[in-house]
Amino acid sequence: MIQNVKILTRNDSYWQDNEWKKLLSSAFSSPKELLRHLNIDFDTMSESVLLDHAFAQRVPLPFVERMQAGNPDDPLLRQVLPVAEENSQVAGYNKDPLGEHDSALPGLLHKYKSRVLVMLATACAINCRYCFRREFPYADNQLGKAGWKDIFEYLSQHPEINEVILSGGDPLAVTDSYLHDFISMLEDIKHIKRLRIHTRLPIVIPQRVTSKLVNTLSQSRFQCVLVTHINHPNEIDDMVSLAMQRLHSAGITLLNQSVLLRHINDNSDTLAELSEKLFKSNILPYYLHLLDKVQGAQHFDSDESHAIQIMQQLQAKLAGFLVPKLVREEAGKPNKSWIDISNTNQ
């Protein structure tokens, strides 16, 4: 049952450090309850909605409040509501589309020469139904402080690594003190120059951008980059903009990556509006990903030729710095693959 949790407004003089935890713990886990909250008749959707799934529904209230009541096709709702199509078996889609299930160490992925990804957390604030790690063996990759020693030893032995990427799960699902301790110990490895945090939590719960988090990042010796995950302009409200302003004012570089999602954002008008709202909130558009072909997410896929047409339209509508790079990630490749959008025959 959803608790009565106070949503902070722009009039608050500070953001409470524990507010985000309350909102996280009270997330909607029942599709029926979510639809009821949105005044959507469950009976009309009962055949298409999954009530029980191993990849459970998880949606915090601040994100739900941005959805349009009464609209079963709301673009934010479609990203998080479990549907029967997820149970379809489709050729070309599998549980490990990026070949990540065999990691160098528990909680560590070293796919690119100069960068390493550390799974600081194995949980997310929101379970996006298109997630490429929805089948990832998180139980085998739970890091905990006991696993830090092996991680730091690995990093110390690889001087070619100059950047650590915190991902997961969502790295900001850990407490501020836990994150502070990890970053402080990481700073002892001299060849690490940058810290990148890939997160969706400050978007679904803007109150996660606490004073302690801002101070930890702004006082670090690292160049700190925070990469948000926003797919649709409706995800950006006043509270999200305020959260991003707190980070931007502290000197944190803000980038965004999106996933091209069928019937959600796969048109140039929506993506152009997204880029404009991102920049207004001090976030620079970075990547637009073609869907990673994970089992259960095939209904979100939009083909490459359509993506190229969209990108060509975006180039005509936006200043160049507002156009994200169209990319695909493929297992075993040393980098993301940029998609050539100059082909006029598409």
* pLDDT at residue number 89: 87
pLDDT in tens, 12-29: 544 667 789 999 999 999
* pLDDT at residue number 4: 43
Output Rg (C-alpha) for the chain, integer angstroms: 20
For residue 211, count CB atoms less than 10 angstroms from its CB and return exposed for 0-12, middle for 13-18, buried for 19 or more: middle
Q: Residue 334 and residue 336: Cα distance in Å, rounded? A: 7
Q: How far is CA 256 from the centre of its chain?
A: 9
pLDDT in tens, 265-311: 999 999 999 999 999 999 999 999 999 888 889 999 999 999 999 99
pLDDT band at residue 35, thresholds of 50, 70 and 90?
A: very high
Asked whether the whole model's pTM tops 0.85, one would answer: yes
Say which amino acid occupies 213: L
pLDDT in tens, 46-92: 889 988 888 899 999 999 999 999 999 999 999 999 999 988 888 88
The three-class DSSP label of residue 97 is: coil
* % of the chain residues with pLDDT over 70: 89
